[in-house]
Structure 1
Amino acid sequence: MTTHPAETVHASLWEEPCDDPWWVPGPDSFAACALSVSGRTVADARRFTRATLQSWRMCATVADDAALIVSELVSNALRYGIRKVAAGTGGTAQQGPVHPAWLALTRQHGGVLCAVSDGGVAAPVMGTPDPLAESGRGLQIVDQLSDAWGWTPPDHSGKTVWAALSSRG
């Protein structure tokens, strides 16, 4: 089931990431990590998701589904949401720092909410890819694996795309 723009507060995830990109502030109900733009970010996010859900004693099926959902959400954030902030100096535009992106996991009533915040200002679009296309099915996968998914309305700081899964086993 798809849920479209939802009002949530995600500004707290936009603070500058700490030197250690993996940050787990809560002992057993919330975990978050900063996302880099490296080639191993998606794999790191999957490992972080699996390790977190294992520590929360979530069933393996939910952990597998969550890891795949996180892979798709992080891939989309890297492709469409991470942007350089232009900084003008003396009339010339220079590339500034990369707008940060975050992955957050929250345990809720036996399920989990996966959320990826990025600097993109466009709402996600679930397209219909060509049957022979190698990409373009990420949100369709998220839609099939989650109980509900959606996003916060994009603003100057970006958006958060989220997916909720309940325990099934």
Structure 2
Amino acid sequence: MISHPSRHCTVELQALPSRIGQVRRIVSAQLRYWHLDSLIDRAALGVTELLTNVHLHARHDKTCTVELEVLLDRLTVSVRDHDPRLPVVDDADPLATCGRGLAMVAAMSESWGARPEGDSGKVVWFTLSAAVAASAPLTAAHPPRRAVEAAPARPFPEVEQVGLGRPQPAPARSAVAG
């Protein structure tokens, strides 16, 4: 039985550097909510690259829409903007400081593409497999962590301070990512 046949989230924004970071955090939170934590890094990287392309290359209107959709075992992340020009994957010069974003999206995703929406713009998208993430359900013994709580300190038995003869706890680390 399929408990969640489709899950959907939409965010509209101006593709400005400060907004891109906010959307990355929204994507991460939404994937945690859907218990798809294993997809967070790749989805956040991909959406960052697509939004950066809108910021750098879209003419005039930087307004865009980010959509996340989980359908059965696949997460699709798409960015819709108002510039009808389709992106092109270039072979970046080895010393270039930009020009590798779409190649990176292609390398880390199952599939990706772009489709025109007439004169009103385009949609650039990529997919990630959600099958592995969904097959490992969370149990009460391992509830999801909230992004703001610190990881508990845990002793490392192999680490001892000279003269004390007992393990020292690891420093607490924040679970909040950039």
Task: State whether TM-score is above 0.5.
Answer: yes
> Structure 2 length as normaliser, TM-score?
0.66
> Structure 1 length as normaliser, TM-score?
0.70
* Residues 116 and 161 in structure 1, CA contact (< 8 A), matched pair in contact too: yes
The Cα of 1:99 is off from its aligned counterpart by 5.7
Match of 1:58 in 2: 36
Q: Distance in 1 between matches of 2:16 and 2:116?
A: 27
Q: 1:145 and 2:122 equivalent?
A: no
Q: Distance in 2 between matches of 1:71 and 1:46?
A: 7
Match of 2:69 in 1: 106
1:4-153 matches, cutoff 5 A: 29-60=7-38, 62-81=39-58, 83-84=59-60, 98=61, 100-153=63-116
Q: Where do 5+ consecutive residues of structure 2 fail to align?
A: 1-5, 134-178
Residues 14-70 of structure 1: per-residue CA shift (max 9 Å, x gap) = xxxxxxxxxxxxxx711111121433122112111101111110032x111111000
Q: Where do 5+ consecutive residues of structure 1 fail to align?
A: 1-27, 85-97
Matched residues, number: 127
User: Which amino acid counterpart does residue 122 of structure 1 have in structure 2?
Assistant: R
**Residue in structure 2 matching 1:164, options 96, 110, 127:** 127
Q: Are the structure 2 counterparts of residues 70 and 37 from structure 1 closer, same or farther at C-alpha, using a change threshold of 3 Å?
A: closer
Q: Distance in 1 between matches of 2:127 and 2:121?
A: 20
Q: Distance in 1 between matches of 2:19 and 2:45?
A: 14
Q: Which of these two proteins has the greater Rg computed from alpha carbons?
A: 2
User: Which amino acid counterpart does residue 38 of structure 1 have in structure 2?
Assistant: L
State percent identity of aligned pairs.
31
Structure 1 stretches of 4+ with a deviation exceeding 6 A read none
**RMSD of equivalent CA atoms:** 1.6
The Cα of 1:105 is off from its aligned counterpart by 0.4
